[in-house]
Amino acid sequence: MSRKKDLSREQAMAAVVACKQKFGHVPTLGDLEKHTGILRHDVIRLFGNYAAMLKECGLERLGSGMKAGIDDLLLDWARVARAQKRLPLLHEYEREGGAYSEVPFRKRFGIWSNVPGAMKRYAIENGLIREWQDVIELIDNRPPGGRPGERKERPLPASKVFAGRPLYGPLIHPSPLICEPTNESGVIFLFGAVAEPLGFQMLRIQTEFPDGEALCRVSENRLQQVKLEFEYQSRNFLYHNHDAAKCDLIVCWEHNWPECPLEVVELKTAIQNL
């Protein structure tokens, strides 16, 4: 569709609907500009903003107004990365048909540069490495940079990795678990082994949130009940959309959520102190 100075609201709305039918998802404003010639100032002039335009069309972009699961966000990001054959910047993700706004990404991952690492961890933990191998290679081969102090992973040559065999964390012997945990299950096992020296006695482990209840030593001769949630990294609590008001404490291997509203037991540090 070529852009016209006398573009009407009806023509603009028809273009949005046509884009949705063509691409199979509600278009971003970048999609609209790229494929129809309708520009941002056209949208502002006719509707005030893009959200209002979509509402007029009976459509809604998945974004700040709707909850998106971590798997939805990461897999959609990976889809765009695969199509581009490079890791997308935020504006590239939105321009190339990303299904979500930046808001849910920032709520779950903090800054945009955290998304690639989160995708790799998600693929490893869910057995999706082979399915998303091309995207994982893009992540492994990204140029140095990013946040100061960020630990960079050096991928082993493909010839060194044997298919079908598990991968282990670095050795932390002496410890009840001789290798660092690589998932939440490892965190649960390790905490169970060192809970008493840390001042906890477990009462209950369950499959629903929160993961468990324990008695915590709060003084020399006093215990208090606390509700625990186990996570590999503390920020996963946020990714999983848990309600902080229903939990007292996060037990994790690595604490990577500085603004966490709950008390955190970081086992990586705790077992060194023990």
Report the distance separating Cα 93 and Cα 106, nearest Å: 14
pTM of the model: 0.45
Print pLDDT tens along the chain (274 aa): 444 457 888 988 888 888 888 877 777 777 777 788 888 778 777 877 666 787 788 775 544 334 456 777 888 899 999 988 999 888 888 777 677 777 778 777 777 888 898 898 888 887 888 889 999 999 988 765 543 334 444 554 545 566 777 777 677 666 677 888 888 999 999 999 999 888 899 999 998 999 999 999 877 788 899 999 999 999 888 878 888 889 999 999 999 888 888 899 999 888 877 6
Count of domains in the chain?
3
Do 201 and 131 share a domain, yes or no? Answer: no
Cα separations in angstroms, 193 against 21, 96, 204, 255: 55, 48, 15, 19
Reduced 3-state DSSP string for 18-41? HHHHHHCCCCCHHHHHHHHCCCHH
Residue 15 belongs to domain spanning: 9-56
Tell whether 21 is covered by a domain. Answer: yes
Tell whether 237 is covered by a domain. Answer: yes
Tell whether 117 is covered by a domain. Answer: yes
- Helix %, strand %, coil % for the chain, to 5? 45, 15, 45
Do 126 and 74 share a domain, yes or no? Answer: yes
For 184, residues 6+ apart whose C-beta sits below 8 A from its C-beta are 230, 231, 232, 236
Residues 212/206, Cβ–Cβ less than 8 Å: yes
Quick one: tokens of 191? 């905490």
Residue with tokens 């994790």: 252
